Amino acid sequence: MIRFYHALFSLSAYFLILASYLSPGVSAYLIPEERAAPVAPDGYTPARVDCPANTPRVRRATGLSINETDWLPQRTNNTVSAMKDLLSRINITGIDTGRYIDNLTSNGGTGLPRVAIAISGGGYRALMNGAGALAAFDNRSTDATQTGHLGGLLQSATYLSGLSGGSWLVGSLYVQNFTSVESIVLSTSGFLSTLWRFDHSIFDGPSDLNIVRYYTQLFDAVNDKKKAGFNTSITDYWGRALSYQLVDPSDGGPGMTLQLEPMKHADYSKAVTFSSIANDTEFRTAQAPMPLIVAVERTSGQVQIAANSTVFEFNPWEMGSYDPGLEAFAPLQFVGSNFTNGTIPRNGECFAGVDNAGFVMGTSSSLFNQALLQIGQVQGVPDFLLNAINDTLTDIGDDNRDIAAWPNPFFGYNASVNVNANETQLTLVDGGEDLQNIPLHPLILPQRRVDVIFAVDGSADTATLWPNGTAMVATFNRSEATTSSADDNRFPDVPDQNTFVNLGLNNRPTFFGCSNRSSGPLIVYLPNAPLSFHSNVSTFDLKYTIEERNQIIQNGYNMATRGNGSVDANWPACVGCAILSRSFNRTRTAVPAICRDCFTRYCWNGTTNNTLPNTYEPAQILQGATEQSTSSAGRVSGTLLLAVIALLLAI
């Protein structure tokens, strides 16, 4: 039987290889990359491991980690080519962008624009909308380097942050070794992958897995973690369920991966952790941006999230916060270890596996724990799982239904600053619960020196489930309250939510921070809008047809590219101007005329209109786009069919 599956998978690979020869637009990118290494010692259950020679320690958050500072020059070097190619294609008249970038990189690359992308929360809507934007920014996507497109912006980025539904997108791509959106979407309807099969509700489980078996696996995984002595919450069940859609549909963890080189097998007894991304080829060699997942701390018993709540970030090396309530980071791989006063005692033990990738994504989206409370209405759910969830609720109390329980590696550390120095457990919640639903917070850190952030907003702020800038306002308000000196990165001024709607700033891209007084990054705000599809689906809709999924992704692509330049032929050039804006200021370079025009049209000029708007009901911007998207999908399917026929004839 194993040989049969090997043969089947190999045949599928040859189909796709042949398809790439028949059509250059259908390439090996259809084949998912090698999955993140399954390094957890005992599946989902954290377990004791040998401590490394360099004892894991908590570090003060006085600057970036040595891991990040060592990685950044490599990433900068790797972004040069993609940025030069992107800028040359989008044709910013009046400047030789190739020579300009060469001049910026001649001094060790320190002057090169630093780009970041932030994907908002908002459930599956945010995942799909963000996926469309990333596909538009990815030069691996079919036709993404053609006129009007923006392929290469992702390859030019240094940071990619995700929150809640956005964290599902970021996490899912990275645990597949930074595969492309197109690879997952096209493979799902082809031979290789059943990821992102949202036509099967997370309550129902994968189509080829018996529902009782599915829930048994959820229960066993969480129960084993609990028996090992670790606190659990509903987030553990939620994170495990997410993994079947976003990591691996067979067991929520690593499975057999398909590659063009000889077959490799993953260890089914282990699970993918977020820290394992640090060892993946694409990230380790700085071929991919640095992923950041955002959550918020909510201390036990606290009902409301304070405006100055401690924002936690997860990156492949660490978890922690630069905020005043903590100002510390712990090595993510070992957060379950016996940390006291910032280190592991000589007779202490090291544990690994707490940072399961699904659990990290579940932590950032713990608001969706509320969905699991409806699980009793699903037919076929075994009683033992319902009893386990009810027992968990009893243990943690009703007020903590949305928490993720993490062992506190900061126990006893720096008590003068650390508000949780006396707590053995950290309680983290959905990153959007403080209204900062776009994960901008870690990207405006002065030490990261980000020049421009492309903020993809898939929030549902209005009564009709479109964004209205609430996330931008929340981050602005927090920044205003915490900025202590002129040297701090100042978040740009933004208007109130009514102004966002009344001036149409939530229906098209808008630049914030264009004035010289803005010391922080330029924000390119990209709100979800009906370019080719009304993608204002509910945050808590948990099931979509494949066609709906693809249409929402396509709409996100069109939102990011303005319909591949059909709405504004100069939009790609304006994106390039945004990338170069801060470097123009630093180098005192004369701003090209086309960029001046872009800034006039896309920069918010400070005008406000805070009158209460009417119910927001936007019209579709691109007419006939749905038919175009469907025919494009048909061309891909037709190419694959030709590949199959050709191979069968050859046999």
pLDDT band at 394 (very low <50, low <70, confident <90, very high): low
Please determine, for residue 391, whether its predicted confidence score (pLDDT) is greater than 90. Answer: no
Please determine, for residue 7, whether its predicted confidence score (pLDDT) is greater than 90. Answer: no
Distance CA 364, CA 444 (A): 19
State pLDDT tens for residues 398-456.
556 678 999 999 999 999 999 999 999 999 999 888 999 999 999 999 999 999 999 99
CA-angle at 386, arms to 383 and 391, nearest 5°: 120
Give mean pLDDT, residues 356-384. Answer: 79
Tokens of 538: 């509910």
CA-CA-CA-CA torsion sign (402, 407, 410, 412): positive
Helix (H) or strand (E) holding 406: strand 404-407
DSSP letter assigned to residue 367: G
Q: What contacts 9, CB < 8 A, 6 or more positions away?
A: 191, 192, 256, 258, 263
pLDDT band at 300 (very low <50, low <70, confident <90, very high): low
Query: Are the beta carbons of 314 and 355 closer than 8 angstroms?
Result: yes
pLDDT band at 13 (very low <50, low <70, confident <90, very high): very low
* Higher per-residue confidence, 211 vs 270: 211
pLDDT at 106 (0 to 100): 83
pLDDT at 384 (0 to 100): 74
State pLDDT tens for residues 187-208.
644 444 579 999 999 988 998 8
Query: Are the beta carbons of 196 and 184 closer than 8 angstroms?
Result: yes
Least confident span in 114-128, 409-423, 607-621, 635-649: 635-649
DSSP letter assigned to residue 261: S
Q: Kindly list the structural domains of the chain, giving each domain's residue range(s) and its CATH number in brackets, ordered by start.
A: 31-620 (3.40.1090.10)
Distance CA 432, CA 424 (A): 24
Least confident span in 11-20, 456-465, 563-572: 11-20
pLDDT band at 393 (very low <50, low <70, confident <90, very high): low
pLDDT at 9 (0 to 100): 31
pLDDT, the chain, mean: 84
pLDDT band at 250 (very low <50, low <70, confident <90, very high): confident
What percent helix, strand, coil does the chain show, rounded to 5?
Answer: 40, 10, 45
pLDDT band at 30 (very low <50, low <70, confident <90, very high): very low
Phi and psi at 318, nearest 5°, equal -145, 165
pLDDT at 519 (0 to 100): 76
Give mean pLDDT, residues 518-527. Answer: 92
Phi and psi at 331, nearest 5°, equal -65, 120
State pLDDT tens for residues 464-520.
999 999 999 999 999 888 754 444 557 999 999 999 999 999 999 999 999 866 679
- The pLDDT > 90 percentage for the chain reads 68
Tokens of 328: 């510390």
In the beta sheet, which residues pair with residue 429? 296
pLDDT at 202 (0 to 100): 92
